[in-house]
Structure 1
Amino acid sequence: MGVVALSLGCSRGVRPDSAVAGTKPVTGKVYSNEAGEQITLIGLEPGDAHKALVAFEGTKSELDGQVLVAWTDQDSRKTEYWTQWRGHKQRFVAVHDRGGYEDLVFSNVNHTGYTHLKPDTGKTGALKVEKIFERYQDAEGDKKYQALLAFDRKFWTNQAETQLKEAVAETNKACGSKLTSAVAWDSITDAQINEISFGSYCKGPLESLQKLCERSDEAKRAIQAKVQTVECRVDPKAALKLEAQKVIWSVTSGETVQPDQATTFFTDNL
């Protein structure tokens, strides 16, 4: 994040158990785009704490109006801002050095899309970093805000189901089929939901089927006749099986059947 020094007022006391205890706001920059999205980054000192505040406005997401504490990870070309949200450590914001200009990349809670913002000189000049710091302190004491930081199994399972429904619709359109999808949530622990993006992992076989249908009418006919359901589950080993018109897609931490393997499996077994 480029450094913009701003004059500071007197900060009110910070609770000893606050995530920003022992820090103070010293720099800030506002980024915006033509879509009306605005993200404000507030640098905190001391620098070796590697902390910042991130404020969201106009992003058309549940993050709007929120101020989150972030842990920064920086290299020569970018700074990533990692925050806690609904029990996940997530990177909503990364600022890239594009060789002469800054590009802030924002990804939403479910990471299904990305938008770009650039430094806003006018809004940065009017920024009061102490106000953002105080907004965060107020939020820390709010029960609704704290609930949004805690792990939320239902939220993440719903997110995954929504992504899968979209993938199923695209596959059915390509294949002229009536496939359904299912996730064996009883095989999946809270820790695994917190670790694995099931919306992304579980749509793998659907994407392979879709590509096969886009290549040939023969694949379409085979999938229409032989596949009714795609089930995603967690097993000790990543695997792909076809049983009684059901594709069983097993994933595990850090491992899934690769796209080429899935395509080969379907080509050989359908």
Structure 2
Amino acid sequence: MSVVALSLGCSRGVRPDSAVAGTKPVTGKVYSNEAGEKITLIGLEPGDAHKALVAFEGTKSELDGQVLVASVGEERRETQYWTLWRGRKQRFVTVNDRGGYQDLVFSNVNHTDYTYLKPDTAKTGALKVEKVFERYQDLEGDKKYQALLAFDRKFWTNQAEVQLAEALAATNKACGSKLTSTVAWDSVTDEQINEMSFGSYCVGPLESLQKLCERSDEAKRTIQQKVQTVECRVDPKAALKLEAQKVIWSVTSGETVQPEATTTFFTDNL
């Protein structure tokens, strides 16, 4: 953040077990947009701790009202803020240096929606960075807040199911079909849920079927006749199979069957 450093002391002590123990707030910048979203970034010293606080307001997400401690990383001309949420390391905020001006990219919890915010000079001028620091300390002692940081398997499986349902609806609309989809959650460990975004991994075959249907009526008829359901699961190796009228889409950490190969498989086997 290219803001003027403010030498501030803390008005009260920080608990020894706090994630911000040994730091103090020294910089602050507010970003906003016309939709009413506001994200505040508070830099923490010492600088080699690579930590910041991120406060959310007006984002229409469960993050509103929360202040999260972030690990700060630099990559080329962007600054990334990594935070813990529901047991997973998440990057909700990225600040881009556009060569003379900045913008902040905010991605929601499920990483399907992205919005842009600009530096807000007036709000930055009125910012009390120590108040945000104290707000975070208050939240750290709140049981409800701590529960939102703990791993939540049901939350992440529900997020994936919602994303999958959206892709399924788009496919059925394009194909004039009544396909169903499932995820074999019993094949997925908690560790894999932490590592992988199943909503993104599992939509692959549905997106390929949709594109085929958009190309030709023949593809629509074929898919209506030969496919009833799509199952996503974790297996030792990424694979795509068709058994009876069931598509079995196997994924593994860091690997899926690529879109071109998926489309070729359906073209050759349906």
Do these two structures clear the TM 0.5 threshold for a shared fold by scoring above it? yes
1:111 aligns to what?
111
Task: Report sequence identity in percent.
Answer: 87
How far off its partner does 1:74 sit? 1.1
Rounded Cα–Cα distance in structure 1 between residues aligned with 2:267 and 2:10: 68
CA contact (8 A) 1:4 1:29 kept: no
Rounded Cα–Cα distance in structure 1 between residues aligned with 2:10 and 2:190: 43
Rounded Cα–Cα distance in structure 1 between residues aligned with 2:36 and 2:92: 17
Secondary structure of 1:262's match? helix
Rounded Cα–Cα distance in structure 1 between residues aligned with 2:184 and 2:226: 21
1:219 aligns to what?
219
Aligned residues between the structures: 270
Rounded Cα–Cα distance in structure 2 between residues aligned with 1:10 and 1:237: 52
Give the aligned residue type for 1:78: E
1:100 aligns to what?
100
How far off its partner does 1:9 sit? 5.3
How far off its partner does 1:99 sit? 1.3
2:182 aligns to what?
182
Rounded Cα–Cα distance in structure 2 between residues aligned with 1:76 and 1:220: 45
Rounded Cα–Cα distance in structure 1 between residues aligned with 2:79 and 2:2: 10
Structure 1 residues 182 and 75, CA, compared in 2 at 3 Å: closer, same or farther? closer
1:131 aligns to what?
131
2:258 aligns to what?
258
Structure 1 residues 187 and 81, CA, compared in 2 at 3 Å: closer, same or farther? same
Rounded Cα–Cα distance in structure 2 between residues aligned with 1:209 and 1:217: 12
Rounded Cα–Cα distance in structure 2 between residues aligned with 1:37 and 1:7: 28
Give the aligned residue type for 1:48: D
Secondary structure of 1:146's match? helix
Give the aligned residue type for 2:157: T
Rounded Cα–Cα distance in structure 1 between residues aligned with 2:161 and 2:187: 15
2:15 aligns to what?
15
Give the aligned residue type for 2:216: S
Structure 1 residues 128 and 10, CA, compared in 2 at 3 Å: closer, same or farther? same
Unaligned 5+ segments in structure 2 are none
CA contact (8 A) 2:9 2:24 kept: no
Rounded Cα–Cα distance in structure 2 between residues aligned with 1:227 and 1:76: 45
Give the aligned residue type for 1:56: F
TM-superposition CA deviations, 1:181-229 (whole Å, max 9, x none): 0000000000001110000000000000000000011110000000000
How far off its partner does 1:148 sit? 0.2
How far off its partner does 1:3 sit? 1.7
Structure 1 residues 7 and 121, CA, compared in 2 at 3 Å: closer, same or farther? farther
1:83 aligns to what?
83
CA contact (8 A) 1:28 1:43 kept: yes
How far off its partner does 1:244 sit? 1.4
How far off its partner does 1:262 sit? 0.3
Query: CA RMSD of the aligned region, Å?
Result: 0.9
TM-score norm. by structure 1 comes to 0.99
1:1-270 aligned at under 5 Å gives the runs 1-6=1-6, 8=8, 10-270=10-270
Unaligned 5+ segments in structure 1 are none
How far off its partner does 1:5 sit? 2.9
Secondary structure of 1:122's match? helix
Rounded Cα–Cα distance in structure 1 between residues aligned with 2:5 and 2:65: 24
Rounded Cα–Cα distance in structure 1 between residues aligned with 2:22 and 2:245: 59
CA contact (8 A) 2:8 2:24 kept: no
How far off its partner does 1:4 sit? 2.7
TM-score norm. by structure 2 comes to 0.99
CA contact (8 A) 1:54 1:68 kept: yes
